[in-house]
Amino acid sequence: MSSLVIGHLFALTTAFCWAENALIWGYLGKRVGSTETAHIRMWIATPVLFLLARMIDGPVHADIRTWLILLASGCLGYFVTDVAVFRAYVLLGTRKTVAIQTLSPVCSALLSLALFGERLSSQQIMGLAIAITGVALVIIQQKKETGPAQKSGILFAVFGAVVQALSLVLTKYALTSSGALTTNMIRCLGGLISLFLFSLFRKNLVHDFSSYHSSGLSLFLLLALGSLLGPIIGMSSEMQAFRFAPLGTVTAISQSSPVILLIQEGVLGRKRVSFKEAMFTLWAVGGIALLFIAD
Q: How confident is the model at residue 142 (pLDDT cuts 50, 70, 90)?
A: low
Angle at alpha carbon of residue 66, lines to 65 and 68, rounded to 5°:
65
Phi/psi class of residue 271: alpha, beta or left (left: φ > 0; alpha: ψ in -120 to 50)? beta
Over residues 219-267, the pLDDT tens digits come to 999 999 999 988 888 888 887 787 777 665 676 677 778 777 777 766 5
Give residue 3's pLDDT band: very low, low, confident or very high (50, 70, 90). confident
pLDDT tens per residue, range 146-163 = 667 778 888 999 999 899
How confident is residue 39, by pLDDT bands cut at 50, 70 and 90?
very high
Judge contact between 186 and 104, C-beta under 8 A.
no
141 touches 294 (CB < 8 A): no
Confidence (pLDDT) at 48: 93
First to last CA, the chain: 24
Give per-residue burial for 228-250: e unless 16+ CB within 10 Å, then b.
Answer: bbbbbbbbbbbbbbbebbeebbb
Mean pLDDT, range 39-57, rounded to an integer: 91
Q: Which residue has better confidence, 124 or 261?
A: 261
Task: Tell me the one-letter amino acid at 112.
Answer: S
d(C-alpha 47, C-alpha 130), whole Å:
40
pTM for the full predicted model: 0.83
The pLDDT of residue 188 is: 94
**Tens digits of residue pLDDT in 193-223:** 999 999 999 999 999 988 887 778 899 999 9
Closest CA to 54 of 175, 188, 182, 177: 182
Task: Select the more confidently predicted residue: 144 or 28.
Answer: 28
The one-letter code for the residue type at 238 is E
The phi, psi pair for 255, rounded to 5°, reads -90, 15
